Structure 1
Amino acid sequence: MENYQVRESIVDLLVRIEQDSGFSHLLIDHEIKSKHISPKDEALMTEIVYGTIQRQLTLDYYLEPFVDSRKKLKRWVRMLLRMSVYQMYFLDKVPDHAVIHEAVEIAKHRGHKGIASLVNGVLRNVQRKGVPNTAVIQDKAKRLAVETSHPEWLVKRWVDMYGYELTHAMCHANLERKPLSIRVQPLKITREAAMDELRELGFATRKSDFSDQGIIIDQGNILRTRLFAEGYVTIQDQSSMLVTEMLNAEPGMTVLDACSAPGGKVTHTAEKMRNQGVIAAYDLHAKKAKQIEQKAAELDLTIIDAKAGDARKLQEQHENQRFDRILVDAPCTGFGVIRGKPDIKYHKQKEDIDQLARIQSEILEHVAPLLKKDGLLIYSTCTVDKTENDNVAANFLARHPDFILDTSFFEQLPPMIRQSPGCSEIGLQLFPQTFSTDGFFLTRIKRK
């Protein structure tokens, strides 16, 4: 594929992601497969797409002095300018003159001479004059929002919740790549044997402190290994592994995973139970329930019964006090996974937070009666907002005196996590900067 054709594909992707609020990782994957893009071009495409989305608000700030605000730019032209400035300022691989030349070629091909001339003029001006300095922005929160490309309302919300320093660290962490982590299937291989095999392949690995099944990969492509292809390991973030560790499900138990897709936690739970017992796994969509079944089959796990079902209606399926353990990994804003899915930060508003908190509370209310006496329930989300996390858990406990916060949860956390800044009287908030994981909240509730 010619360079400019790869970049034209990038423009298409960026337009689709913004226009349809599409998930960037799914659209990139589809583009790579459908256009048979080479591994070299695949790496470049991924880097430019993610980078342009990740830095979108910063790039718009850089472009502002050079684009006449009275001119209504077509969406693809704005995307072309953003991705070009991203390459000029955040990538070293391609010289500026080549970036500008390719942008002009794309503009000629997609538009007309006037658009090509505008693109050329804007980018040459940017190259000649340099981009505006963010230091002139007086308001600290606004400056942080522009520098790290987070919506200003969201930065101010986090500053109110956690203070400026922690918010500053979180916003900057959201621009970095986190190391990949995997989980071994312990009924098929030990962590040590998997690490030995990966080392022989030239991987750089280390043990995770979050789970005795976890391995952090600092170097190497796990997707191209026998271990991944044959279901010896699963890709899973360490924060997500901690949820199952804290669930403490044992062999022979009856467990409910109320919001189960894509299946990382439920398969981990089945492994912890040594594939003995029963797990009822639900997702709102039948297609996703099917994915859970496929994931279980890949890992040779047979105790998971995955079905389509609304977590707010599970009392229609099961009698009260049926389960020893319940996991509610609730639908949420996803602000803890911005690093991997950067488009999330532009598509959510404050109203979404409030609406999701209502749904989370409804799910908790509905599934709690299904828990046995002395049973444990984990409530978790992959977000960093107190409205969805601490508040939902605290409000539930205030309404239900027969359920209590299980304080032994804190003693069972790995030692380094016990001292983390996210430990509160209601649960654990993991921030992306603390241990280079996803941002995640979890707490454990016990039925008296």
Structure 2
Amino acid sequence: MKYQTNNPRELAVKTLLRTSNGSYSNLQINAVIESTAMNDADKALFTNIVYGVIQHRLTLEYQLAPFLKNPKKTDDWVKELLYTAMYQLTYLDRVPKRAIFDESIKIAKQMGHDGTRRFVTGILHQMDRQGLLDPNQIKDPIRRVSIKYSVPEWLVSLIGDQLGQAKAERIFESLNQAPKQSVRVNKVKTTKAQLLDQLTQAGYETEESRVADEALIIDKGQIVHSPFFESGLLTIQDESAMLPVESMTIKPDDIILDACSAPGGKTTQIAANLKTGKVIALDIHQNKLKNVTRNAKRLGVDHLIETQALDARKVSDRFEDQIFDHILVDAPCSGFGLMRRKPEIRYDKSLADVKHLSQVQLQILEAVAPKVKTGGTITYSTCTIVQQENQEVIRQFIEAHPDFRVEPTKTDLNLPTDDNGMLNLYPDDFGSDGFFVCSLVRKA
């Protein structure tokens, strides 16, 4: 898409309009950055506003409502423009109020007409005089948490019931913090010590992860377009997402099935532990497997990976006589552990989605169970934090398959597991994505 402007605030309004209609925020942000000539400061402001408005959408809707006499007659883009102004006024300390007002009013006239300009001007000045509603004054505890942290009420209730209200609120509060820039060291091409030294010399501020042994946190400096990324010395991967493979005991000659592989972070992580073995990477979508292959070539492990487009629930149809040493099921899930990184997830999913996904997850486990050798392990993982997709799926699987047992999930940095040996990592624990990992061993 061509844009006639490089104004970060106007681009933010247009991007938010598309994301509110179902487009993925990260894809839209990347597309805008690549197709405009914004400088680095404007790119940062644009990205901050888009993610910020999405993160705080329920809060902003609640606070805007008293100022709209006819909300249904107010154009969606005008609401998005007002949300961007409100977000900047409330959450961005370094942006002067005059600049926010002037830019918002200018955009109102450019995207609308003089009447729109007057309408937006009036609301902004009314907000300035009266102030915005404080969500802490909401009496109902579920609604208060929902509006304060911008999380749907059903999800507030669900997480609160499962983890307790105090833990749930800590999770929700953490979700509106900026995500870390986490990378995995590609041990095929370098070592952590060497890469740390090179990054430091190149001016990056880097620290070791407290979550995963192969992870580094880049505190300052964009790494994705750097020579380190392009040459395959590292890859972008959240520290929590490294734990499923880290928990697997992989031998150099193992034959491993990655049942749900795209975009390939865990596939290439498995391959980095192989010499003469192979990882067969499945995904239901052929086009997504191109990302797996692209990542594998960049990291120098493509000769150890075989991709096949296949629904993991149909493994027996394609691999009738194949038995694997290990199987990774990084199952399709609701993604509620990723809400910091993909804020729109909280609004896009429902309890019905959770129930449907838990059925799919169990079906995948059922399908791959006969394909792992005796003594081999199925590593089950999700990037969600709701028990229906995690502990409950494992409970149902074990009940139907007494030939499997849960083995305590082991990680290099000895992260604690629950009483059943399963690893539950929540977004507030270390500031990483939320993840669940369970190791299922096939008994003799």
TM-score under structure 1 length normalisation: 0.94
SS at match of 2:199: helix
Spell out, residue by residue over 1:148-183, the C-alpha distance to the aligned partner (whole angstroms, 9 max, x if none): 111111111110111011001100110012322211
Asked whether the equivalents of residues 403 and 447 of structure 1 are also in contact (C-alpha less than 8 Å), the reply is yes
SS at match of 2:235: strand
SS at match of 1:247: coil
The answer for the alignment partner of 2:105 in structure 1 is 104
Spell out, residue by residue over 1:270-293, the C-alpha distance to the aligned partner (whole angstroms, 9 max, x if none): 1122x4301110111111111101
Q: Distance in 2 between matches of 1:90 and 1:207?
A: 29
The answer for the alignment partner of 2:415 in structure 1 is 417
Q: Distance in 1 between matches of 2:85 and 2:6?
A: 12
The answer for the alignment partner of 1:299 in structure 2 is 299
Q: Distance in 2 between matches of 1:212 and 1:331?
A: 25
Q: Distance in 1 between matches of 2:53 and 2:209?
A: 31
The answer for the alignment partner of 1:10 in structure 2 is 12
Structure 1 residue 32: Cα displacement: 1.0
Structure 1 residue 426: Cα displacement: 5.6
Asked whether the equivalents of residues 211 and 413 of structure 2 are also in contact (C-alpha less than 8 Å), the reply is no
Q: Distance in 1 between matches of 2:5 and 2:148?
A: 29
Q: Distance in 2 between matches of 1:415 and 1:46?
A: 33
Structure 1 residue 69: Cα displacement: 4.5
Q: Which amino acid aligns with 2:392?
A: N
The answer for the alignment partner of 2:179 in structure 1 is 178
The answer for the alignment partner of 1:257 in structure 2 is 258
**Aligned CA distance change for structure 1 residues 4 and 288 (closer, same or farther; 3 Å):** closer
1:216-255 pair list within 5 angstroms? 216-255=217-256
Asked whether the equivalents of residues 246 and 412 of structure 2 are also in contact (C-alpha less than 8 Å), the reply is no
**RMSD across aligned positions (CA):** 1.7
1:400-439 pair list within 5 angstroms? 400-407=401-408, 409=409, 412-414=410-412, 417-418=415-416, 423-425=418-420, 427-439=422-434
Structure 1 residue 250: Cα displacement: 1.4
Alignment pair present for 1:319 and 2:292: no
Asked whether the equivalents of residues 134 and 143 of structure 1 are also in contact (C-alpha less than 8 Å), the reply is yes
The answer for the alignment partner of 2:283 in structure 1 is 283
Q: Which amino acid aligns with 1:94?
A: V
Q: Distance in 1 between matches of 2:209 and 2:86?
A: 38
Alignment pair present for 1:445 and 2:443: no
Q: Distance in 2 between matches of 1:442 and 1:230?
A: 30
Structure 1 residue 25: Cα displacement: 0.6
Spell out, residue by residue over 1:55-101, the C-alpha distance to the aligned partner (whole angstroms, 9 max, x if none): 11111111121111455221111101111111111112322222122
Spell out, residue by residue over 1:101-153, the C-alpha distance to the aligned partner (whole angstroms, 9 max, x if none): 22222222222232222111111111111111222211222211111111111
Asked whether the equivalents of residues 6 and 36 of structure 2 are also in contact (C-alpha less than 8 Å), the reply is no
Q: Distance in 2 between matches of 1:34 and 1:212?
A: 37
Spell out, residue by residue over 1:11-67, the C-alpha distance to the aligned partner (whole angstroms, 9 max, x if none): 110000011x11101111001111233222111100110011111111111112111
Q: Distance in 1 between matches of 2:211 and 2:45?
A: 32
Q: Distance in 2 between matches of 1:176 and 1:53?
A: 13
Spell out, residue by residue over 1:350-375, the C-alpha distance to the aligned partner (whole angstroms, 9 max, x if none): 11101111111111111111111111
Q: Which amino acid aligns with 1:137?
A: I
Q: Distance in 2 between matches of 1:72 and 1:208?
A: 50
Q: Which amino acid aligns with 1:285?
A: H
Could you tell which deviates more after superposition, 355-364 or 140-149? 140-149
SS at match of 2:432: coil
SS at match of 1:374: strand
SS at match of 1:417: coil
Structure 1 residue 213: Cα displacement: 2.1
Asked whether the equivalents of residues 313 and 363 of structure 2 are also in contact (C-alpha less than 8 Å), the reply is yes
Q: Distance in 1 between matches of 2:257 and 2:227?
A: 32
Q: Distance in 1 between matches of 2:266 and 2:6?
A: 42
SS at match of 2:358: helix
Asked whether the equivalents of residues 257 and 328 of structure 1 are also in contact (C-alpha less than 8 Å), the reply is yes
The answer for the alignment partner of 2:41 in structure 1 is 40
Q: Distance in 2 between matches of 1:105 and 1:177?
A: 29
Structure 1 residue 431: Cα displacement: 0.2
Structure 1 residue 309: Cα displacement: 1.1
The answer for the alignment partner of 2:28 in structure 1 is 27
SS at match of 1:376: strand
Percentage of matched positions with identical amino acids: 39
Asked whether the equivalents of residues 320 and 371 of structure 1 are also in contact (C-alpha less than 8 Å), the reply is no
Q: Distance in 1 between matches of 2:177 and 2:418?
A: 24
**Aligned CA distance change for structure 1 residues 143 and 416 (closer, same or farther; 3 Å):** farther
Identify unmatched segments of 5+ residues in structure 1: none
**Aligned CA distance change for structure 1 residues 71 and 121 (closer, same or farther; 3 Å):** farther
The answer for the alignment partner of 1:207 in structure 2 is 208
Q: Which amino acid aligns with 1:229?
A: E
Aligned length: 440
Q: Distance in 2 between matches of 1:63 and 1:240?
A: 37
TM-score under structure 2 length normalisation: 0.95
Q: Which amino acid aligns with 1:40?
A: A
**Aligned CA distance change for structure 1 residues 245 and 71 (closer, same or farther; 3 Å):** closer
Asked whether the equivalents of residues 407 and 421 of structure 2 are also in contact (C-alpha less than 8 Å), the reply is no
Q: Distance in 1 between matches of 2:29 and 2:90?
A: 23
Asked whether the equivalents of residues 321 and 369 of structure 1 are also in contact (C-alpha less than 8 Å), the reply is no
Identify unmatched segments of 5+ residues in structure 2: none
Q: Distance in 2 between matches of 1:306 and 1:125?
A: 58
SS at match of 2:337: helix
SS at match of 1:249: coil
Asked whether the equivalents of residues 4 and 102 of structure 1 are also in contact (C-alpha less than 8 Å), the reply is no
Structure 1 residue 218: Cα displacement: 2.0
SS at match of 1:444: strand
